[in-house]
Chains A and B, each alone.
Chain A
Amino acid sequence: MKPAAFEYSRPADIDEVCALLAADDGARVIAGGQTLVPLMAMRLARPSRLIDIARIPGLAFVREEGNEVVVGATTRQHVVESDPVVRAKLPLLAKVMPFVGHTATRARGTVGGSLVNGDPAAEIVLVAVTLGAALIWRDGGTNHSIAASDFFLGPMVTALPLTACLAEARFPVWPEPRVGVGFHEVSARQSDFAFVSAAAQIALDADGRCTRAAIGIGAATAVPLRLDAVAQALQGQRYDETKVRESAKAALADIEPMADLHASAEYRKRVAATMAVRAIADAYQDAARRA
């Protein structure tokens, strides 16, 4: 359980990161290293060079800009977990943070690291897809923006070019006064990789009817899924479990879930519907509590 030898660089800015990546095919970026280092210990990853971006100034921040909350790539997960702006403006991200790894891995792990790792079971990835975040990377001296739904291509496969480095993630903030969120996941033990997860964010009018919804399913398929058909069916509706379950089941009828030793495809599909219903129920309740 010792990683193979590698060179170590700590560049001063993000353009230097790109230059180092361009100069060496085997180079990898490290920020928190909470996924990369275990892979290196097991020799499943053998980077020739680690480019440490954790100390690059201006990459670790949370700030509100217009109708978005922007999270810098190297922002530690435990910082986001207790950040007041995230709590107030991005309740869904705040809600999932305690499910990301363990306390000790959140102290080192970064938001950007989780995103570029692209694990379909990662909660931060699910939130980015569900809310329709934009991811900004730096490559060749310019910034590029991509929608989260286009960024994740498969398990641990993203659209990030080999010479690019993620700079920030921009999450949309819903301006409605009554916004509620829900999140549920099934895993073998607390903070293990989820077999299935579901996230929901719902805005209600004064009557308790849904005016906007975003629903996402993680871990079941190769990339997290947005259930836009379910979100649409909720429009103008009060919570009705039977209807929600029907529309969730219908939306999940044609998905191709992953299967492994722990959870079969059939199980994942069935549980996805249940998780979605629970997340939606929680989101309705949460929104209803807001005057």
Chain B
Amino acid sequence: MKVELDINRQKHTVEVEPRLSLLDCLRDKLLLIGAHAGCEHGVCGACTVLVDGAAIRSCLMFAVQADGVAITTIEGLSPGPGELSPLQDAFCETHGMQCGYCTPAMILAAHALLSKNASPTREEIVDAISGNICRCTGYAQIVEAIALAAERMRGQNDPVRP
């Protein structure tokens, strides 16, 4: 089947079997390998992408279901070539990653949270990433990274006081 996908504000037309997950479509057909294949049955969260701004599991969605929605992958998050988004920056600074396998998904889950809630509590941050498994960090630095990014992003919108 032919399906037209809107990924990171770019249109792609791909020929897919109905059983191809959005995850495999992104990775194998479009070489967007930032979405990681972990458990492939909706448990680990490593394949998280944004659909119309909400974090979803791309292994639990078929590519044929994804026409007409706006998909954002980790590749679409940075503001420009060689630049990092405030969240990506914060993850680097607080050592919010070790092996990096869960990281794109963590950042996207956090991005979905911060786009709805600019000042999340620690509990809200923990809840937002509770569907994402990290086997390295123990989560503490990830939570710290998201809190730091939230603080900076709030600051960005403050009017400059003379």
Interface, chain A (partner B; CB < 8 A): 1-8, 30, 33-34, 37-38, 41-42, 50, 52, 54, 78, 98, 101-105, 107-108, 190-191
Instruction: Report if A50-B39 is in contact (Cβ < 8 Å); known contacts: A8-B62, A102-B131.
Output: no
Most buried by B among A2, A37, A98, A191: A37
Looking at chain B's contact residues, the main secondary structure is mixed
Q: Are A107 and B60 in contact (CB under 8 A)?
A: no
Chain A CB within 8 A of B18 CB: yes
Q: Are A5 and B40 in contact (CB under 8 A)?
A: no
Q: Are B1 and A8 in contact (CB under 8 A)?
A: yes
* Closest Cβ–Cβ distance, residue B4 to chain A (whole Å): 14
Q: Are B40 and A1 in contact (CB under 8 A)?
A: yes
Q: Are B127 and A103 in contact (CB under 8 A)?
A: yes
Chain B residue numbers with a CB within 8 Å of A38 are: 41-43, 60
Chain A CB within 8 A of B103 CB: no
| Smallest CB gap from A3: residue in B | B19
Q: How far is the CA of A102 from the CA of B130 in the complex (A)?
A: 7
Q: Are A1 and B55 in contact (CB under 8 A)?
A: no
Chain B residue numbers with a CB within 8 Å of A6 are: 18-19
Most buried by A among B18, B43, B48, B128: B18
| Smallest CB gap from A1: residue in B | B40
Chain A residue numbers with a CB within 8 Å of B19 are: 2-6
Chain A CB within 8 A of B14 CB: no
* Closest Cβ–Cβ distance, residue B71 to chain A (whole Å): 13
Chain A CB within 8 A of B90 CB: no
Q: Are A37 and B56 in contact (CB under 8 A)?
A: no
Q: Are A7 and B18 in contact (CB under 8 A)?
A: yes
Chain A CB within 8 A of B61 CB: yes
Most buried by B among A1, A5, A98, A103: A103
* Closest Cβ–Cβ distance, residue B61 to chain A (whole Å): 7
Q: Are B130 and A191 in contact (CB under 8 A)?
A: yes
Q: Are A41 and B131 in contact (CB under 8 A)?
A: no
Chain A residue numbers with a CB within 8 Å of B48 are: 104
Q: List 12 A-B contacts (CB under 8 A).
A: A5-B18, A7-B18, A8-B1, A37-B41, A37-B60, A37-B61, A38-B42, A41-B41, A42-B41, A103-B127, A107-B55, A108-B60
Instruction: Report if A105-B131 is in contact (Cβ < 8 Å); known contacts: A41-B59, A78-B54.
Output: yes
* Closest Cβ–Cβ distance, residue B66 to chain A (whole Å): 11
Chain B residue numbers with a CB within 8 Å of A33 are: 60-62, 65
Chain A residue numbers with a CB within 8 Å of B77 are: none
Q: How far is the CA of A50 from the CA of B65 in the complex (A)?
A: 11
Q: How far is the CA of A1 from the CA of B38 in the complex (A)?
A: 10
* Closest Cβ–Cβ distance, residue B38 to chain A (whole Å): 10
Q: Are B17 and A5 in contact (CB under 8 A)?
A: yes
User: Which of A41, A50, A102, A108 meets B18, CB within 8 Å?
Assistant: A50
* Closest Cβ–Cβ distance, residue A38 to chain B (whole Å): 4
Chain A CB within 8 A of B33 CB: no
Q: Are B18 and A37 in contact (CB under 8 A)?
A: no
Q: Are A103 and B64 in contact (CB under 8 A)?
A: no
Chain B residue numbers with a CB within 8 Å of A50 are: 18, 62
Chain A CB within 8 A of B57 CB: yes
| Smallest CB gap from A5: residue in B | B19
Q: Which residues 30-61 in B have Cβ within 8 Å of A in the complex? A: 39-43, 45, 48, 51, 54-57, 59-61
Q: How far is the CA of A34 from the CA of B42 in the complex (A)?
A: 8
Chain A residue numbers with a CB within 8 Å of B87 are: none
Chain A CB within 8 A of B112 CB: yes
| Smallest CB gap from B130: residue in A | A190
Q: How far is the CA of A102 from the CA of B42 in the complex (A)?
A: 10
Q: Are B131 and A37 in contact (CB under 8 A)?
A: no
Chain A residue numbers with a CB within 8 Å of B130 are: 102-103, 190-191
Chain A CB within 8 A of B102 CB: no
User: Which of B39, B51, B62 meets A107, CB within 8 Å?
Assistant: B51
Chain A CB within 8 A of B97 CB: no
| Smallest CB gap from A98: residue in B | B127
Q: Are B42 and A1 in contact (CB under 8 A)?
A: no
Chain A CB within 8 A of B109 CB: yes
Closest 4 CB pairs of A and B: A102-B131, A1-B40, A8-B18, A107-B54
Q: Are A41 and B61 in contact (CB under 8 A)?
A: no
Chain A residue numbers with a CB within 8 Å of B55 are: 103-104, 107
